[in-house]
Amino acid sequence: TAPIVASADGERRHLTVLFCDLVGSTEIAARLDPEEWREVVAAYHRAAAEAITRFGGHVAKYLGDGVMAFFGYPEAHDNDAERAARAGLAMLDAIAKLGGQAGCPKLTARVGIDSGAVVVGAGAGKEADVFGEAPNIAARVQAAAEPGTVLITDAVHRLVSGLFVVKSHGASALKGIERPLQLYRVVQPSGVRGRLEAVAAVRGLTPFVGREDELRSLMTRWERSREGEGQVALIIGEAGIGKSRLLQRFHELIPDTSQAWLEAAAAPFFQNTPFHAIAELLHQLVGQASLPATEARAARATARDGKGQLETNERLAQLESALVLVGLKPAEAIPLIAPLLNLPVSAKYPLPPIPPEQQRRHLLAMLVEWVLGAARTQPLTIAIEDLHWADASTLEVVQLLVEQGPTAPLLLLCTARPEFHPPWSLRAHHTQITLNRLSARNVREMIAQVAARDALNNQSVAAVIERTGGNPLFVEELTRAVLESGGISARAIPVTLHDSLMARLDRLGSAKAVLQLGSVIGGEFTYELLRAVHPASESELESELRKLTDADLLYFRGIPPDATYQFKHALIRDAAYEALLRSRRKDLHRLIAQTISDKFPAIKAAQPEVLARHWAGAGEIDPAVAEWSTAGKAAQERNAFVEAERSYGQALALLNLLPESPKRDLRELELRQSAHMMSFMIKGWGAPETVDATQRLTALAEKSGNLGELHSSLFMTAAGAWMAADFPTAEEVADQALRVAQREGNPTLLANSYWMQLMVRYWRGDLGGVEQHFRAGLEFFDDQLFKQKSLIGHVLAFGYGALNAWTAGRSDLAHHRLAQGIAEADSSNPGHLAAVAFMSAWHHLLRREYGKAEAQAAYAIELAAQHQFADYG
């Protein structure tokens, strides 16, 4: 495991905070000599610290007789909230035992735990300071707890649901906390083996999807093992990829035959407990597997504390029977095996007088022979999960079973994360299955199963697919978060995934900083750009990138310096990015933006939106607005109207952050004009968004006193009224726009005004007015700026002139004008082609050429659907 590297500047984290305090310490101190009290407090601190560190926590501060501990800093784990709750129970037990020692008064403590977002940074002293609500809430929760109990907030309860037996403490108003908090008392561990069992107990499992190939492979191994050819399958995959779920589904599919199934799991809390997972198997071998599921879980939980439900003699009798059944001699085996089952070694079964090393060899041999003997008695499948957490003794037994397994009808199934390297070499009876991400089809199916009746819209489904990278746990939790919140935020990470994601980052050591820098650059980044903004040498940087690709966090193609890297999951990228302080993010965005501007002209020219995002991330509004505007113009030139509207919208959103001023208002006016034209092309003049934008444009134009801008806003108001079939208003405003254009004398404005007059008057039935304005506008319709800015206005002008001529009975003139409009159209411009098809369809319809009219209308609809032109769809 890489060393933990904490940021010197601080970082954002999701932290679980535990606060423990002695009950009645003032009264105890008053009864003792100060030196005695000091010794009592020191012993209490030692007991608390031992429990905290045993479960992976960090003692943050001693506050007199209070202890504050962090779970999730400086190193995060997949299950920090669970670790904190276990540590709290262990602390209470250890502190109570202190009071039973000679010379020590009776001691009782209270524990409060909360989880939340914090900033961890360098403080005035040596210890890191934590800024956020969680430490204060944990202290207040502790004060509300009964003596000798662990009390947790609803935030913690969500993270440990199903893992512990809890009792509601109700909603409590705590000092200094604005809102009442729902609290729960932790009674004891529930006995479930892991997250999957906890989820199944609380809300049930999501129906299984995908993994058909993997299931077929396991089924083949199972069939061969039943025939007496022992098999081993090692299932490798990252956290949440579905290893446990695959085993559970496989177990469901096995026919109800005489084959037995045993299961156990290594655990992070017992990595230094010899034979921990093997002991779980032994409990089942002596009869616990026959108990109902709920009793078996309770038995597992109590057995770890040495409080088995069966009397010692009864359990010894069961053990004797189980050993005799497989041909082992109880007198030789029980002295060595009994301690693993929390059974005392009685006078009936004394330990053999041999050296410890020899005792261990005998124990290993007996354990393997017991399992193989059981398999020979009845075909056996053993599932051992999470070998990456297994203690050394458990791994030693597993390795012996792997090596000797072919001699018995045994199927040994193991799961582990990618960092696990099996201590055995592959042989013919071994299979390694690496679980990859689910396909997009499987993810959609899983989303539908989780959402059930509350179906997600297509946008949310696409976002879940993109952000989760096909990881089933991520898919399920993000889908549930979307259902709870009613939408999906760009970077929001479900609280249930914070610990898991941060644990993966913390295991990276110094490579974490490289991943975070990459997260600021984007979901995909080139080696060249990363190298330009990273201070390390090329060899150091390439080494760190290899760590990230080996850890399955980044995909890559090419070889440095021509390599490109991509985040495997958007959630990983988001977690890396969100862990950075906002001030640090701004600094990195500024560095990247400046580097692209100075050293990467190709990116600056081809991808202005990339540069815009970095300037915006740096808080540099002016250059960000300029680049978004450039991106909008570039998209507009490619007839990508949706992308153009979004780019202009981004520029406007940033511009709105600046205080009003003549310069700012003029920039807004220019941007809104461009955005408005895109809105017209996509949604049409009558769309509510287009009408709202027109009102803002008019206000800005009047404020600026710029006749050209005022004309544009009047033109758009008239167009909106026309689309809404409010023809009187459309004519009135169109006349105002024409008067402004005549006052300004600008040919572009005049061309726009006459075009609008044609549309409004034609639909009002004012054929004379149409003809008058068409002839007046002819000298302006060739204006190049009008052709460029109106997008399709010059084409439609000739089209309306043709319609008017036909309606007036002048078919030859109508045909001539339509031909002029077609000649004006750019055959490479889909907007022009749609306008021509639209006008041609009307022309053919009036001539009663219905087949041609239908063909042109269909072509216009096709172009509208393809390019999202609202007015022709």
Q: What pLDDT score does 521 carry?
A: 96
Residue 736 domain flag? no
Instruction: Check residues 366 and 829 and name the one with the higher pLDDT.
Output: 366
pTM, whole model, 2 decimals? 0.74
Question: What are 651-666's pLDDT values in tens digits?
Answer: 999 998 998 888 888 8
Most confident of 193-207, 256-270, 522-536, 762-776: 522-536
SS3 696: helix
Q: Are 171 and 153 in contact (CB under 8 A)?
A: no
pLDDT at 225 over 60: yes
Residue 198 lies in a domain: no
> Do residues 109 and 222 both lie within one domain?
no
Residue 142's pLDDT is: 95
Asked whether the predicted pLDDT for residue 277 surpasses 90, the reply is: yes
CA 518, CA 862: separation in Å to the nearest integer?
Answer: 41
Q: Of 165-169, 277-281, 319-323, give the lowest mean pLDDT range.
A: 319-323
Answer yes or no: is pLDDT of 412 > 50. Answer: yes
- Give the pLDDT confidence score for residue 269 in this predicted structure: 84
User: Residues 192, 300: contact at Cβ < 8 Å?
Assistant: no
Residues 427 and 299 in one domain: yes
d(CA 205, CA 678): 47
Give the residue-averaged pLDDT of 554-577. 91
Say whether both 526 and 514 belong to one domain.
yes
Pairing of strands 524-526, 564-567: antiparallel
Residue 184: CB partners within 8 Å, gap ≥ 6? 151, 152, 153, 154, 156, 157, 166, 167, 168, 169
In-domain check, residue 825: yes
Is residue 633, in this structure, part of any structural domain at all?
yes
In a 3-state reduction of DSSP, which class is residue 62?
strand
Structure tokens at 412: 């040994």
**Surface-to-core class of residue 119, CB atoms within 10 Å of its CB (0-12 exposed, 13-18 middle, 19+ buried):** middle
The domain tally of the chain equals 5
Alpha-carbon Rg for the chain in angstroms: 37
290-343 confidence digits (pLDDT tens): 444 444 444 444 444 444 444 677 888 888 888 998 889 998 999 999 889 888
Its domain, for residue 567, covers 494-580
pLDDT band per the 50, 70, 90 thresholds, residue 491: low
pLDDT band at 490 (very low <50, low <70, confident <90, very high): low
Domain identity same for 18 and 132: yes
Mean local confidence (pLDDT), 521-537: 93
Tell me what pLDDT residue 489 has. Answer: 65
Weakest-pLDDT range from 244-253, 724-733, 770-779: 724-733
* 737/219: higher pLDDT: 219
Cα dihedral across residues 551, 555, 558, 563: positive or negative: negative
Tell me: do 366 and 302 sit in the same domain: yes
Whether 694 shows a pLDDT value over 60: the answer reads: yes
From 519, 552, 580, the end of a domain falls on 580
* pLDDT for res 770: 87
CATH of the domain at 555: 1.10.10.10
Specify whether 272 is located in the same domain as 334.
Answer: yes
Q: Out of 68-77, 148-157, 801-810, which region has the weakest mean confidence (pLDDT)?
A: 801-810
- Looking at the predicted structure, is the pLDDT value of residue 230 above 60? yes
Average pLDDT in the 45-57 region?
A: 95
576 and 594 assigned to the same domain: no
Residue 508 host element (H or E): none
Whether 183 and 222 map to the same domain: the answer is: no
Q: How much is the pLDDT for 350? A: 83
In a domain, 481, yes or no: no
**872 and 784 within one domain:** yes
Q: Is the pLDDT of residue 686 over 70?
A: no
Percentage of residues of the chain with pLDDT beyond 90: 42
State the CATH number of the domain containing residue 53: 3.30.70.1230
Question: Do 751 and 766 lie in a common domain?
Answer: yes
**Which of 658, 683, 709 is the C-terminal boundary of a domain?**
658
DSSP 428: T
Task: State yes or no: pLDDT of 828 exceeds 90.
Answer: no
Instruction: Tell me: do 534 and 635 sit in the same domain.
Output: no
> How many beta carbons lie within 10 A of that of residue 168, not counting itself?
11
As a whole number, mean pLDDT of residues 637-662 equals 89
Q: What is the DSSP string of 281-347?
A: HHHHHTTGGGS-HHHHHHHHHHHHTT--SS-HHHHHHHHHHHHHHTT--HHHHHHHHGGGGT----T
Report yes or no on 741 lying in a domain. Answer: no
Are residue 188 and residue 228 in the same domain, yes or no?
Answer: no
Residue 463 lies in a domain: no
Of 434, 455, 479, the residue that ends a domain is: 434
Which CATH number do you get for residue 802? 1.25.40
In a domain, 1, yes or no: no
